[in-house]
Amino acid sequence: MANEENRDYLNLRSEKDLSSIIGNELLLFSDKVIKINRYSLSQERNIIVTNKAIYNLKKMCNYNNY
């Protein structure tokens, strides 16, 4: 269990609103990533990996002031 917590780099496990995004799925990984679009511009995204899906989110204003 401690290993799984170390992969939650956005500290989303403590967020109550996370269940509205992932439901009852198990959070495996979360972190910021930089996406390079087709115009070579960078865009910040937050990625969440669960046991059932991968979520690509734009900046999450409600989570940890990101």
pLDDT of residue 53: 95
Q: What is the pLDDT of residue 42?
A: 94
- In sequence order, the β-bridge partners of residue 30 are 8, 48
Alpha helices in 1-66 (DSSP H): 2-6, 18-22
Q: 20-41 pLDDT, tens per residue?
A: 888 889 999 999 999 899 999 9
| Residue of 44, 48, 50, 39 lying closest to 66 (CA atoms) | 44
Residue 18: predicted pLDDT: 81
Closest to 23 in 3D by CA, of 45, 41, 4, 48: 48
Q: What is the pLDDT of residue 65?
A: 42
Query: Sign of dihedral through CA atoms 15, 17, 9, 66?
Result: negative
